[in-house]
Chains A and B, each alone.
Chain A
Amino acid sequence: MEDNSKIEQLKKATPARIGIGHVGTRYKTRAYLDFLAAQAAASDAVFNEVPETVVEQLGTFEIQTKCQDKYEMLTRPDLGRLFSDETKAYLKAHCIQHPKVQIYFGDGLSSPSIEANIPDLFATMKAGLEDDGISVGTPFFVRYCRVNTAREIAPLLDAEVICVLIGERPGLITDESMSAYIAYHARPDMLESEYTVVANISRKGIPPVEAAAHIVDTIERILKFQCSGVELGKFV
């Protein structure tokens, strides 16, 4: 039986935590624990590592930015985009050169987002792009990854379009959300506004397969107009 009480109607209108009652001025125990659980999951998503087994299951290899740990990753965005010379050489040796599109995965601010989204997201993207005759580079995983790794990796592998699938800052609705940052001819001195972004990819947001299909279209547009970000928006 559907509960059609007024308070239920209000609750249906928003994902916000309303209609939770109170004891004195404070939260009821159930609501209090629900909040703690969601916040704990969100916090853990940031500070926990992506297990190596997950990277293995994706069938990819792993590299690491100049950051040594999570603390450095969170406080030093400058290091989170750079790689050591050895890492760069390793990457170059293990990847196809000059792909049309280079896709890779980064933990960013949500470790669980990798396991939750990448299998469906990447498979759908790869199938869609290759069906249109667009070559996709060798995928890999970057630990302690910032979005701006794209500025280093694109020139290194000579990718025309770069797409990093990276964990988003988790909220209390989901800790598994990720974004795609896509850029045409990414390079160290590119502008932030050159990124095209598809955010909120998760089971609770845009489902990974749908997001992937949308990204395929977006990448095709980027290749067609040879630009990304704000510039791309000008082509209607």
Chain B
Amino acid sequence: MYLQTILLGRTYQFQTVKEVLAKASEVKSGDSLAGIAAGDKLERVAAKTVLAELLVSDIRNHPAVPYEEDFVTRIIQDDVDEKIYEKIKNWTIAELREWMLSSETTGEQILEVCRGLTSEVIAAVMKLMGNLDLMMVSSRLHITATCNTTIGGKDIFASRLQPNHPIDDIKGVAASTLEGLSYGIGDAVLGLNPAVDTVDSTVAIWKLLGDIRDRYEIPTQTCVLSHITTQMKALQTGAKADLCFQSLAGSQKACEAFGISPDILGEAYDMFLRDGSAKGKNVMYFETGQGSELSSGANFNTDQGVMECRCYGLARHYHPFLVNTVVGFMGPEYVYDTKQLIRAALEDVCGGHLHGLPMGCDVCYTNHMLTDQNDVESLATLLAATGCHYVMGLPQGDDVMLMYQSTGFHDVAALRELLHKHPIPEFEKWLEKWQIYENGKLGRNAGNPEIFL
């Protein structure tokens, strides 16, 4: 294992695999804040050069956190398909990259090989990829998952309807939901972030969203994004929902800060399979986002790209229906500007896809980042072209509860039209019935929630 290289006459010596990975990362303010980023651009390239010659086994054998100390590491390592791993463990990361990009390689083959890779390896190969490399790899992976409907599939671009309200007012949530439906939003999920994390409010909003789904016979699924333990208690009251939500992090310590453990995740997964209202077998919904480990002091000197990938390694253990990165929510300490935002989002979606996950993205920003709505629109277009499974749909992209901006109802409609994408088929049929969509585009009733009243 060589951790040294000479680049343009300068010698670069790295101490650990972890250091190589961190310094090979594209610029993120979070890695600088953690004090692990490359000192300059050339050092970054030197790290990439070293990384290119490391073996898959070198990376696997140096997990971000030791196996004995961390359940995320254990889940990732134990889930590796050893037969596949044996075949590719001596590939260099450069070889892995070229094999993935080769026209001869199919998406099925890539997904197959990735079952033999740890999350660190997947993160590593992405550090040798430019933005368009990430998009090319991501776009050829076809991944589906089934709750009440099936997400994924050719030319499907779905959306989560996010009808958040400052105090979870039932009428207010209903108003945003009906408006969103009238733009063809909500085929991925009708999913609300509650302002108050209580069993009562979770039950009340499950009921509201479930009633809307049933009253208008909408082929979709529902979810309230309260804490997983709150949802478990809510399910025990006899109330119903389709999906169980939780935010994930990439280390045990960071997961503990989120109040989750493998026991809790496993129990919730079983409960929702058994007692939830989903028809299919994929009942989990996870959110992630670069920087959450550092923010809870649980990054173990690992760069946020690797940590993010470890979230996907944890996620794939529970066969989720939806996973999305909330790429621009953590703040400029972690993702500073448009350039970093685009890079992080492309890495996250590609990384999730390589883990076999139906991967969406909350293409978003807070107002203290150097970004604006044009950046959201550009990035969402890149992601839609990449085969990102879904994005968020908010009223004009503005979240009035969490105080950040994301993709708007109109943006989803525009991207579908621009890139010839469609909602999930049965949802599109439903939209056609209400003449919200006509001939695959926004129809005469688009944008008119009064049709539901």
Using a CB–CB distance below 8 Å, which chain A residues touch chain B?
6-7, 10-11, 13-22, 24-27, 31, 35-36, 38-39, 42-43, 45-46, 74-78, 109, 169-173, 175
Q: Tell me which residues across on chain B come within 8 A of A171, comparing CB atoms.
A: 367, 398-400, 403-404
CB pair A46 B367 closer than 8 Å: yes
Is residue B169 within 8 Å, beta carbon to beta carbon, of the partner chain? yes
CB pair B398 A16 closer than 8 Å: yes
- Of B67-75, B266-274, B443-451, the segment with at least 4 beta carbons within 8 Å of chain A is B443-451
> A-B pairs with the 3 shortest C-beta distances?
A171-B403, A14-B172, A17-B396
Chain B: minimal CB distance from A198 (Å): 16
CB pair A18 B179 closer than 8 Å: yes
Using a CB–CB distance below 8 Å, which chain B residues touch chain A?
29, 32-33, 163-166, 169, 171-176, 178-179, 183, 331-333, 336, 366-368, 372-373, 394-400, 403-405, 408, 410, 413-414, 417, 442, 446-447, 449-450, 453
Q: Tell me which residues across on chain A come within 8 A of B373, comparing CB atoms.
A: 35-36, 39
| A49 to B453 CA separation, bound complex (whole angstroms) | 48
User: Please, which residue of chain B has its CB at the minimum distance from the CB of A38?
Assistant: B398
Other-chain contact of A19, B163, B179, B400, B453 (Cβ < 8 Å): B179
Q: Is the interface of B mostly helix, strand, loop or mixed?
A: mixed
Q: Tell me which residues across on chain A come within 8 A of B453, comparing CB atoms.
A: 6
| A171 to B398 CA separation, bound complex (whole angstroms) | 9
| A150 to B399 CA separation, bound complex (whole angstroms) | 30
23 of the cross-chain contacts (CB-CB < 8 Å) are: A13-B171, A14-B165, A16-B172, A16-B394, A16-B395, A17-B395, A18-B175, A19-B179, A19-B449, A21-B447, A22-B410, A22-B446, A26-B414, A27-B408, A39-B405, A46-B368, A74-B331, A75-B29, A76-B33, A109-B368, A172-B403, A173-B400, A175-B367
Q: Tell me which residues across on chain B come within 8 A of A45, comparing CB atoms.
A: 367
| A169 to B173 CA separation, bound complex (whole angstroms) | 23
| A171 to B401 CA separation, bound complex (whole angstroms) | 9
User: Please, which residue of chain B has its CB at the minimum distance from the CB of A27?
Assistant: B410
User: Please, which residue of chain B has its CB at the minimum distance from the CB of A77?
Assistant: B333
Q: Tell me which residues across on chain A come within 8 A of B398, comparing CB atoms.
A: 16-17, 35, 38, 171-172
Indicate whether A75 sits within 8 Å of B333 (C-beta atoms), given known contacts A15-B400, A16-B400, A39-B367: yes
CB pair B166 A43 closer than 8 Å: no
Q: Which of A18, A35, A39 has the most B CB atoms < 10 Å from its CB?
A: A18
| A24 to B164 CA separation, bound complex (whole angstroms) | 25
Other-chain contact of B33, A10, A75, A170 (Cβ < 8 Å): A75
CB pair A22 B172 closer than 8 Å: no
| A15 to B414 CA separation, bound complex (whole angstroms) | 24
CB pair A13 B395 closer than 8 Å: no
Q: Tell me which residues across on chain A come within 8 A of B413, comparing CB atoms.
A: 22, 25
Chain B: minimal CB distance from A30 (Å): 12
CB pair A74 B368 closer than 8 Å: yes
